[in-house]
Amino acid sequence: MASGGSSNAGSLTQWLREKGFDEEAIGRMSRRCKNLHGLDAGEASGVWDYLLNVVKIERRKLRYVVTKCPKVLTLSVDDKLVPTVQCLTTLQAKPGEVAQAIVKFPQILFHSVEEKLCPLLAFFQTLGISEKQLAKLLMVNPRLISYSIEAKFSQTVDFLVGLGIDKEGMIGKIMAKEPYIMGYSVDKRLRPTAEFLKSAVGLEGSNLQRVIMSFPDILSRDVDKILRPNLAFLQSCGFSKDQVMALVAGYPPVLIKSVKHCLEPRMKFLVEEMGRDMGEVVDYPQFFRHGLKRSLEYRHKVLKQMNSRHDLTCHLNQVRQLESSILRIMMENFSIVLKIDPSKVQGMYLGRNTRGYT
């Protein structure tokens, strides 16, 4: 028996080398999965070929899966892999999604999908999530299948209901937008974040509900590492608590955007380059959504060029009056300045030669 096990190990090691695994990787895999020593190379090859040729996992990604979870090689193709993959495929998954799900979470292959899937589907249907939506959730976050309904899902649902998010279909919509929210601890992450949004930002009732509904990802962000520093920056700009609340309610990602790479450069550009009052962003929080180089700087340049050409072409009285009126309206309404299509502005005002003007 010992010699047989040694022969299998030697055969498997050689097979792993042929598949592109180096000695260090093989050593780590052997330590992670003790059953690997007694595995026959032919059995491992059967698993590899099925995942590569039937499930269509790319060779490079399959090496990653096996390195991360070598136990995959010990599974029976007929008794375990085929039924599991077929069950996942029947969830109306798109081509390639099952392969992506396995790469993200190889452990999905160890769960009894049929036993876990039926109760999971029934639970999610009570939240207004269809089978098709559940398929999408599982493909994006396959780890969901490993969670307990009682210990994990029910706690998160009860927490959201406690925030007033209890109307039919609301929790399902949150999950569809942020499939990873169910993986976070209610006590360690979700509740502290909600309390921060209430006490520090001032969001309550319907305002808090709207923020969570529109951008549920905010609940999963760390208060001390992300939310609090962003709040401190907004306060350092001189925004009052009511103004900060309006900014967050109007554009929730303002609390998670990078201060260094997003918020600070945009505020500087707004005041120093555009010559605008910083309070204007309170009326148009979507300002922070626009790219600095491709959107804000470009639009500002277009406006400056429009004004310059207006000065140079004062003899075109009718055109000048039209441009002056439109420019005045744009400058009076900050949101219009940012929403207008620059290409149309250029074609209308900066490329007048194409219309016969000289």
Q: Domain limits of the chain? A: 293-358
- 175-201 pLDDT, tens digit per residue, is 989 999 999 999 999 999 999 999 999
Q: Which residues contact residue 312 at a Cβ distance below 8 angstroms, ignoring those fewer than 6 apart?
A: none
Cα–Cα distance for residue pair 285/245, rounded to 1 Å: 11
pLDDT, the chain, mean: 82
| pLDDT over 60 at 262, yes or no | yes
Exposed/middle/buried for residue 268 (C-beta within 10 Å: 0-12, 13-18, 19+): exposed
What count of Cα atoms within 13 Å lies in the side-chain half-sphere of residue 74?
15
Structure tokens at 227: 């939310």
* pLDDT confidence band for 303 (50 / 70 / 90): low
Structure tokens at 107: 């452990």
Radius of gyration of the chain (CA): 29
Query: Percentage of the chain surpassing pLDDT 90?
Result: 50
φ, ψ (nearest 5 deg) of residue 92: 65, 30
CA-based end-to-end distance of the chain:
95
pLDDT (mean) for 117-139: 84
pLDDT (mean) for 292-321: 50
Q: What is the pLDDT of residue 238?
A: 93
pLDDT (mean) for 232-261: 95
